Structure 1
Amino acid sequence: MKLLTSTILTAILSYALPASSRTIPITLDIVNAQGAPDGFKRSMVTANGTYPGPLLTATKGDTLVVTVHNKLTDDTMRRSTSIDFDGIFSSTSNAFNEGSSFVTTCPIAPGESYTYTVPLIDGQAGTFWYHSQLSVQYVDGLRGALIVYDPEDPQRHLYDVDDENTIWQVGDWWHNTTLPLLAGYVATGIVPVSDSGTFNGVGRYQGGPEVPFHVVNVQAGKRYRFRIINTSARNVFTMSVDSHNLTIIETDGTNTAPMTVNQLDLLAGQRHSVVLAANQPVANYWINAPFVGGSPARNLNQNATLSRGILRYKGAPNADPASPMTLGPAEAELNALVEANLRPLITSPAPEADINITLNLVVTAGKAQWNVNNVSYLSPEVPTLVKILEGANSADDFNVTENTFVLPANKIVQVIFPPSDDDEEHPFHLHGNNFWLIKSNSSEEINTANPVKRDVAGVGSTGTIVRFSTANPGPWFFHCHIFWHLQAGLATVMASGLDEVRKEVHPTSAWNKLCPAYDALPADEQ
């Protein structure tokens, strides 16, 4: 099977904006396919045979009905699967369709199918993505964009073009498959270092073939809304476009007050929409997407300078830019994003906290083990949601290694991450909800007056504080989006309103069959 590197399958999955809400049927066949995103051919885990997976689009208020057929056969990677729709809110009653393996569901066994019904609630719109939520499986390729359009976007006057061609997906890529990579991590405690980075599904590695860079076409005089998604399992990408500014108008699905920069970092799982005015002379310009994630000395294939695309004006030659490849703006010209300076489009103070939780992150030296408050998370055999439905009512009803915090409904929870000695910033992601970013790791400022809301924030050397509401009860995964660290234990579950969950959650018979089917599998098919 030839692996497509397009970000879209518009004939199948991209839809025109409707006048009213709809139910959108989508089929994802999860298959092994041969591909070479950076010129190195290998077997991959894909949705519908593409990397990235097909673009999913919807309009605010729609309902996605996503039928997943698991057709995986390659035993060098996980053969079961589970799909998470990253950043999409989940109502309490629909928690069983949230897709977090061993938290809200069991994985889909090979040869089996499951249909996720995903209503888009609370007026949610913006830039999201989907990926496997089983172990580190999405490292093997199962990831793609999910865009929810808002016909009444309050910032629509700032741009002229926002379509399937204005989505930028950056990601880390490995030449080896995940089971041997994970075995090496467990044996050494050294997180695998990627071979390359990809921009909309294509990249290059040091000494590899000169795979053509992805081209983004623009027309002089128009303004473009580019939706940038970091689909990495580890790497931080630094985005810029030679000779152009970028005006941020959205962060993780939240409209933000316009902020003009010429460079911005995205941690794994983070998203931004930026407006670029095509106001430069007609030519080709580099889109710079260098990355960091572990020491390049551990993987000599890595050359972050080769991670990039081309912004091509209409009328420019079909050629690479004449300017040299750089990592971005020179220091004297740098106007980089400082996360703490982001503000919501509509000013809104964060509510006062009712509950305070402190999470200390510690790595065990020389081992593939991370602890949160001295506990290394291990996925339970019985999913958290199943235990709640069967009567679990306190932290004592869960294994210690599930690191589950039992919280009351309708409260505001403040989570404090103290400063860390670790030299890597950890992108902590909350499922089912988002949070107010009270203190960003990028600043010492405490901001309760008008903090931005997002669902992935960095935790590192200066400390981070977030607040979230438990008005939407459920067992929601809260973990590092460096999936190697998640697999090594850097995760918790925020389980709120357990009585409300039991009253509102009524799983389907198809969901009830997932665990027995998965549990019956031999280990090499799980």
Structure 2
Amino acid sequence: MKSLAASALFALPALGAIVSTRAPNASVNAVTLDVVNAQGSPDGFERTLITANGTYPGPTIVATKGDTLVVTVNNLLDDPSMRRSTSMDFDGVFVTTDNAFNEGSPFVTTCPVGPNASYTYTLPLGEQTGTFWYHSQLSVQYVDGLRGALIIYDPDDPQKDLYDVDDESTIIQVGDWWHNTSTSLLAGYVATGIVPVLDSGVGRFQGGPEVPFNVVQGKRYRFRIINESARNVFTMSVDGHNLTIIEADGVATTPLTVDEVEMLAGQRYSVVLEANQPVDNYWFNAPFVGGDPTRNLNQNATLSRGILRYQGAPDADPTGPMTLGPTDGTPLVEANLRPLVPEPAPEPDVNITLNLVVTTGKAQWNVNNVSYVSPIVPTLVKILNDSANATADFNVTENTFVLPANAIIQVDFPPNDDDEAHPFHLHGNNFFVVKSNSSDVINTADPIRRDVTGVGAAGTTVRFSTANPGPWFFHCHIFWHLQAGLATVMASGLDDVRAETKPTPEWEALCPAYDALPADQQ
């Protein structure tokens, strides 16, 4: 794999090597992530980062269906200008009730890992396959660089006849980047209520090197695209080529051919691109939106693109103009996605309405007039200690909904007048998108299931099952909004959690150790 040190915001998993160590025919997949401060220049501006194994993006974790991931995180952070503790989340990976303590949501299912400490996350993957990612879930720490790809391959993929190439060279990670540290940016947000506007999106910096994706004419490529943003929306397209969607957030879809794909923060898609054009160079476009660009003049959105380079083409920029992508094409409409294996959305047993409101002039978001604040004692600890059995047993600011086990929950997000769609993400489960923000159609017959969907002006309805009980975070994946309170906890089957969840001594030691840390090490 090649280095993309100056352009890692639109990257193959090149800076971070594949880190999984899996013995032949074994099911245990051991990974070590050293969380360290390291110097880097993802867009040409050098700064200190928070990284996994010293690279940005972090090393790609690969696994096979049925594996158990065993991820040891060693916290070696020593820069006092940034958060010193950490906690790792594996986005989209279902953590079962008995293993809820290995779900890395700080102050919901765990406490953070302090500096000079380690924690090992054990994650049986079961039947899950597809495209996922990992990142710090503590505050807005992943803004400083702690994020990377996680791919679960399926040797018996029912759609493998649709593509010829699916390997580390076809994993594409896009994201937003800031020149200042997350702690200083967060302080500015709290003071002004204005979400920090990125310095750069995907692509290269002024005068920087090319970001090529190499293909051979006649072959079909499964590109796994991950939006690892803390805020920004990216719209992916390739000049002269269609993209056929076959996966959304780890769920195989009926092939849907489009020419551009809008991706909210936290969303993942697999698209098949057929290299069926004349040998040449083609722009791989990724324009972004997220905040007023006049608030940060470092941006150059023109460079938000890579190059699809056919074998035999010159090492040069495409001759065509840099555009924002198709102007009269077939963009993805989320409501048109269908699962490869159709399943009707079960009728709900419980109905919840979540109204999202921003407090004008403040860095504060409310869900049903409550701004989420992380508790001192994690939700799971309260449940296991039998000190919380109903919604009233949690602090109001924990915004915790206590739900029955083995029920179907419908969540309605009424239309709101905010100018951007909020990518709501559910931990521990995914959900049926019964009504997408992209359409007025209500589909209960065969809706797509995924774990991140947009909530905005058109209104959204999702349904999920509580057959996997636990206290699962349900929040906006614009992490600035999450830190400003745009979050809830869906705590289901509390008696089941107490009966089935048996934490390890290693997990039980996390909270006392974290609580004993001085503030500058938390």
**With structure 1 as the length reference, what TM-score do the two structures score?**
0.96
Alignment correspondent of 1:195: 199
User: Residues 29, 484 of structure 1: CA spacing in aligned structure 2 closer, same or farther, 3 A cutoff?
Assistant: same
Tell me which amino acid in the other structure corresponds to 1:116: Y
Alpha-carbon separation, structure 2, partners of 1:352 and 1:275: 34
- Which of 121, 130, 148 aligns to 1:144? It is 148
Correspondence 1:447-466 to 2 at 5 A: 447-466=443-462
Alpha-carbon separation, structure 2, partners of 1:29 and 1:310: 32
Q: CA deviation at 1:195?
A: 0.6
The 4+ residue runs of structure 1 with deviation greater than 3 A are 2-6, 8-12, 14-18
Tell me which amino acid in the other structure corresponds to 2:159: Q
Q: Deviations over 1:28-55 (max 9, x none)?
A: 0000011111100111000001110000
- Which of 489, 493, 504 aligns to 2:500? It is 504
Alignment correspondent of 1:212: 209
Alignment correspondent of 1:274: 271
Alpha-carbon separation, structure 1, partners of 2:169 and 2:23: 16
Q: CA deviation at 1:213?
A: 2.9
Alignment correspondent of 1:420: 416
Q: CA deviation at 1:73?
A: 1.0
Q: Deviations over 1:239-266 (max 9, x none)?
A: 0001000000000000000000000100
Tell me which amino acid in the other structure corresponds to 2:458: T
- Which of 76, 82, 100 aligns to 1:71? It is 76
Alpha-carbon separation, structure 1, partners of 2:354 and 2:26: 40
Alignment correspondent of 1:514: 510
3-state secondary structure, aligned to 1:388: helix
* Conserved 8 A contact 1:17-1:59: no
- Which of 24, 29, 32 aligns to 2:34? It is 29
Alignment correspondent of 1:13: 19
3-state secondary structure, aligned to 2:352: strand
- Which of 220, 224, 240 aligns to 2:221? It is 224
3-state secondary structure, aligned to 2:201: strand
Alignment correspondent of 2:357: 362
Q: CA deviation at 1:17?
A: 10
3-state secondary structure, aligned to 2:187: helix
Alpha-carbon separation, structure 1, partners of 2:104 and 2:55: 21
Alpha-carbon separation, structure 1, partners of 2:75 and 2:138: 13
Tell me which amino acid in the other structure corresponds to 1:380: P
Alignment correspondent of 1:132: 136
Alpha-carbon separation, structure 2, partners of 1:311 and 1:14: 28
Alignment correspondent of 1:409: 405
Alignment correspondent of 2:159: 155
Tell me which amino acid in the other structure corresponds to 1:511: W
* Conserved 8 A contact 2:136-2:142: yes
Q: Deviations over 1:464-521 (max 9, x none)?
A: 0000000000000000000000000000000000000001111111101111111111
* Conserved 8 A contact 1:172-1:234: yes
Alignment correspondent of 2:181: 177
User: Residues 457, 11 of structure 1: CA spacing in aligned structure 2 closer, same or farther, 3 A cutoff?
Assistant: closer
Alpha-carbon separation, structure 2, partners of 1:347 and 1:97: 31
Alpha-carbon separation, structure 1, partners of 2:367 and 2:234: 26
3-state secondary structure, aligned to 2:361: coil
Correspondence 1:221-260 to 2 at 5 A: 221-260=218-257
3-state secondary structure, aligned to 1:517: helix
Alignment correspondent of 1:481: 477
Q: Deviations over 1:281-338 (max 9, x none)?
A: 1111110011000010111111222111111111111111111211111x23x11000
Alpha-carbon separation, structure 2, partners of 1:498 and 1:3: 47
User: Residues 10, 519 of structure 1: CA spacing in aligned structure 2 closer, same or farther, 3 A cutoff?
Assistant: closer
Alpha-carbon separation, structure 1, partners of 2:26 and 2:424: 32
Q: CA deviation at 1:347?
A: 1.7
Q: CA deviation at 1:22?
A: 1.1
3-state secondary structure, aligned to 1:368: coil
Alpha-carbon separation, structure 2, partners of 1:14 and 1:397: 41
Task: Determine if the alignment matches structure 1 residue 293 to structure 2 residue 299.
Answer: no
Alignment correspondent of 1:335: 330
Tell me which amino acid in the other structure corresponds to 2:235: T
* Conserved 8 A contact 1:7-1:51: no
Alpha-carbon separation, structure 2, partners of 1:470 and 1:305: 45
Q: Which runs of 5+ in 1 are unaligned?
A: none
Alpha-carbon separation, structure 1, partners of 2:70 and 2:22: 17
Alpha-carbon separation, structure 1, partners of 2:20 and 2:336: 34
Alpha-carbon separation, structure 1, partners of 2:441 and 2:255: 20
Tell me which amino acid in the other structure corresponds to 2:116: G
Q: What is the percent sequence identity of the aligned residues? A: 74
Alignment correspondent of 2:491: 495
* Conserved 8 A contact 2:245-2:255: yes
**With structure 2 as the length reference, what TM-score do the two structures score?**
0.97
3-state secondary structure, aligned to 2:357: strand
Tell me which amino acid in the other structure corresponds to 1:371: N
Alpha-carbon separation, structure 2, partners of 1:305 and 1:398: 48
Correspondence 1:48-87 to 2 at 5 A: 48-87=53-92
Tell me which amino acid in the other structure corresponds to 2:299: Q
- Which of 113, 122, 129 aligns to 1:117? It is 122
